[in-house]
Amino acid sequence: FNIVLLPGDGIGPEVVGQAVRVLTAAAQAEGANLNFNEQLIGGCSIDKFGTALTDETLAACQAADAVLLGAVGGPKWDDPQAKVRPEQGLLGLRKGMAVFANLRPVRVHPDLISASPLKPERLAGVDMIVVRELTGGLYFGQPKGREVVDGIERAVDTLVYNEEEIRRVVRMAFKLAEQRRKKVTSVDKANVLESSRLWRKVTAEVAAEFPEIELENMLVDTAAMRLVASPANLDVLVTENMFGDILTDEASVLTGSMGMLPSASLGADGAGLFEPIHGSAPDIAGKGIANPLGTILSTALLLRYSLKLPKAAARIEQAVDQAISDGLRTVDLGGKLTSQQMTDEVIARLG
């Protein structure tokens, strides 16, 4: 298998470096060999090549079996009005790899419930997966730009979806639901947006293909409340790109242990882009203390979804669970372990 590594900026190289050790060991334990090819993306790519994503990096990612990314961005490249920005690398990669579905499992280990901002009784039983559409909507819709009319500047972004873009991501959510609690919550703003009314129509059509799965439609403002008020009632949640950006972050902060959460961005052909949900954390970059578990758990998703090695994936997930149960903690969770020490502990538990 050919894996492209995109360590990126800030703590990205540290957590990717550690995670690769776990990924290699778990794959080997199942008899699989991995080739790694490292490329630049984000701020480091801007510094070297003047662009956040070179054609060469994109081509390598398109040809690979899977891509593991750390994080992009940092104060050095932080001006949103700048022409060249790190996150363009990420957006270009998503579009270029056609990874239209971003999956974020949100679970919390029982021993970590105390880190949550929520009362324990609200968090107990939380086990959801948020499926965010990733290559459409306001992020990529045209026209998009600014103009001055009669001396007044105006700016336009366009939210556009066609039924195929909706169908493929909603279908993925329903397929995930088959393996879980058999319920999909589709989030939209159908009382205001035309795109949401189309979303709701297509979602109803997909639901008819899955008679054993229950479909619940929820308005995005209601979803923002339910995530905080009763997160344990949510199982598979599916929504468009911008709503997903907001709701996935809201969902992940509920756990209080964002450094542990992985994500997978999947396309039609199994190719995928895997990354922790945390950012580049410039404040702790270079110190070797970042929590590597979000990236390590992302390699488990990589093994499961792109390499179809579910046993290797389960080895990693069980090893991480065990390490937490054994009381091992990095600094962000009140412990003292370095990234490397935590990773050693996970490897020791791979079985």
Ligand X SMILES: CC(C)[C@H](C(=O)O)[C@@H](O)C(=O)O
Question: Which are the catalytic amino acids?
Answer: 139, 189, 221, 245, 249
Q: From residue 174 to residue 193, what is the string marking binding to ligand X with x (rule CB under 6 A)? A: -----------------xx-
Identify the three-state secondary structure at position 224: helix
Q: What is the DSSP letter of 6?
A: E
Among ligand X, its own copies, none, residue 220 binds (CB under 5-8 Å by kind) = its own copies
* Binding window for ligand X (CB under 6 A); candidates: 24-32, 83-91, 266-274, 323-331: 83-91
What is the spatial distance between Cα 35 and Cα 22, in angstroms, rounded to a whole number?
14
Is residue 291 annotated as involved in ligand binding?
yes
- Give least dist CB 341 to its own copies, A: 27
Select 132 or 315, whichever has its Cβ closest to ligand X.
132
Secondary element (H or E) of residue 102:
strand 101-107
Please tell me the distance from the alpha carbon of residue 192 to that of residue 159, in angstroms, as a whole number. Answer: 13
**Residue 43 marked ligand-binding:** no
Q: Are 350 and 22 in contact (CB under 8 A)?
A: yes
* φ and ψ of 259, to 5 deg: -65, -10
Binding mask 28-57 for its own copies (x = CB under 8 A): ------------------------------
The two structure tokens encoding residue 28: 């080997």
82 is in an annotated binding site: yes
Q: Is 221 in the site for ligand X (CB under 6 A)?
A: yes
DSSP state of 304: I
Distances in whole angstroms, Cα of residue 67 to Cα of each of 42, 70, 91, 266: 15, 10, 14, 11
Contact letters (x/-) for its own copies, 135-174, by CB under 8 A? ---xx-x--xxx--x--xxxxxxxxxxxxx----------
Indicate the annotated binding residues for Mg(2+): 221, 245, 249
Indicate the annotated binding residues for substrate: 94, 104, 132, 221
